[in-house]
Amino acid sequence: MFPPPDRRPDARPEPTRRRAAPASQTAAVTMRLLLLSPHPDDIAWSLGGTVARLGAAGADLRVLTFFGRSRYAPGHPAHGEAETTRVRALEEETWARAAGVRLRRGDLPDASLRGYDDDTEMGAIPEDAVIGRAAAMLRRAVDEIRPDVVLAPLAVGGHVDHAAVRAAVTRIGLGDQARRGPTAHRRADLPAGGEPLHRVPVAVGGGGAALAASPSVGVVGETGPVRVRDTGDPPVDTRGLGQAGEPALFWYEDLPYAARGGPRPPGLPLVIDVEEVWSAKERGVRCFPSQEPDTVLPVLRGHADAVSGERVWAPGQAAADRLRRLVG
């Protein structure tokens, strides 16, 4: 027999018991990711497949776009800063709705408004004032959003705006890797070809099954391939990935520039298979008609084929395992 319920006036009802979330989704509901996008299209270009898989897993995805002002729109008849900025903002909002991410848009002027052209913006050293403003924007976003993970651009190819974002990450000391983070890479330094990768199949559960039926993730260690076992254990707690309350810092390779190859950055490479969500990535890329998606899509496809997906670099094995569990 159960005892009678407490009839005191101040008695509080028993809280309703919630059904436990499936094991494959437990990690997702506690992980918040902040993706740093120099321009409105950079996350769709570089991490569109990863975003699709994370979204399918139920992760809380935020995007911080730094250079929101522009006059660069080769695929649109827009003229001048105001109209181009409006067009590109609408494109990004369309993509964000489709991808299920929340936007936080900065208003820094991009390279096209700071006197650069297609040639001089590549490999240029970013202005200290621009880095400072980007760093302040990033610090506020991290303090207010409190992400578990930050994904930052490597600045492969050395685009001045991408290099400014990378420098901002370093300036605020975000993550242990930030203090010894990669240098911006100029086109002249980029070798051809990619790395051999070891792919490990993982299961997809919950809402991600429809978008990614049988994706896989590969990890390559500093001295060669490293096998990552899917033990079937319950998902680990994804909180506290970073040190001293800071988020864990992952680097991603900038596309389409990274398609030319690039020096190996520090950290543990993690390859996220995006084959089963490629159609979602392509739809996302096409949300930016002003940036001539038909020109860039073959480059993105070729790079995904060459490296077996989209690559990020984790600060260590534990962080890599936790992100692997989330996308898996």
Cβ proximity of 53 and 214 under 8 Å = no
Retrieve residue 238's tokens: 């994804």
What is residue 79's predicted lDDT score, i.e. its pLDDT?
A: 83
Dist CA 5 CA 212 (whole Å): 48
Domains defined along the chain, listed by start: 23-327 (3.40.50.10320)
To the nearest whole number, what is the mean pLDDT of the chain?
Answer: 77
What is residue 245's predicted lDDT score, i.e. its pLDDT?
A: 65
Pairing of strands 248-252, 310-314: antiparallel
The pLDDT of residue 182 is above 70: no
What is residue 179's predicted lDDT score, i.e. its pLDDT?
A: 42
Dist CA 63 CA 85 (whole Å): 17
CA 268 to chain centre: 16
What is residue 327's predicted lDDT score, i.e. its pLDDT?
A: 87
Percent of the chain with pLDDT over 70: 70
Question: Burial letters for 45-75: b for 16+ Cβ neighbours within 10 Å, e otherwise?
Answer: bbbbbbbbbbbbbbbbbbbbbbbbbbbbbee
How distant, in Å, are the alpha carbons of 30, 133, 172, 180, 250 from that of 177? 23, 21, 12, 5, 8
The pLDDT of residue 72 is above 90: yes
From 237, 272, 251, select the one nearest 182 (Cα to Cα): 251
| Cis? peptide before 256, omega within 30° of 0 | yes
The pLDDT of residue 300 is above 90: yes
- DSSP character for 147? -
Helices (H), the chain: 23-30, 42-57, 80-99, 128-145, 160-171, 175-178, 278-285, 293-307, 317-327
Dist CA 38 CA 309 (whole Å): 21
The pLDDT of residue 291 is above 90: yes
Percent of the chain with pLDDT over 90: 62
More confident residue, 180 or 81: 81
- DSSP character for 204? -
Dist CA 203 CA 201 (whole Å): 7
What is residue 30's predicted lDDT score, i.e. its pLDDT?
A: 65
322 φ, ψ (degrees, to nearest 5):
-70, -40
Cβ proximity of 32 and 103 under 8 Å = no
Confidence of residue 183 (pLDDT cuts 50, 70, 90): very low
> Average pLDDT of 125-135?
97
What is residue 279's predicted lDDT score, i.e. its pLDDT?
A: 97
- Which of 112-116, 117-121, 179-183, 244-248 has the lowest average pLDDT? 179-183
> Average pLDDT of 92-118?
97
Dist CA 303 CA 195 (whole Å): 12
> Cα angle at 148 between 92 and 282, to 5 degrees?
30
The pLDDT of residue 189 is above 60: no
> Average pLDDT of 132-136?
97
The pLDDT of residue 238 is above 60: no
> Average pLDDT of 279-286?
98
> Average pLDDT of 86-105?
97
Q: Residue for token digits 């490999």?
A: 123
- Which of 32-46, 189-203, 277-291 has the lowest average pLDDT? 189-203
Q: Residue for token digits 């299209």?
A: 41
Q: Is 321 left (phi over 0), alpha (psi -120 to 50) or beta?
A: alpha
Dist CA 267 CA 264 (whole Å): 9
Give Cβ neighbours of residue 285 (< 8 Å, ≥ 6 apart): 41, 44, 45, 48, 293, 296, 297, 300
- Which of 23-27, 52-56, 160-164 has the lowest average pLDDT? 23-27
Q: Say what angle helices 23-30 and 42-57 make with each other, to 10 degrees.
A: 130
Dist CA 292 CA 70 (whole Å): 16
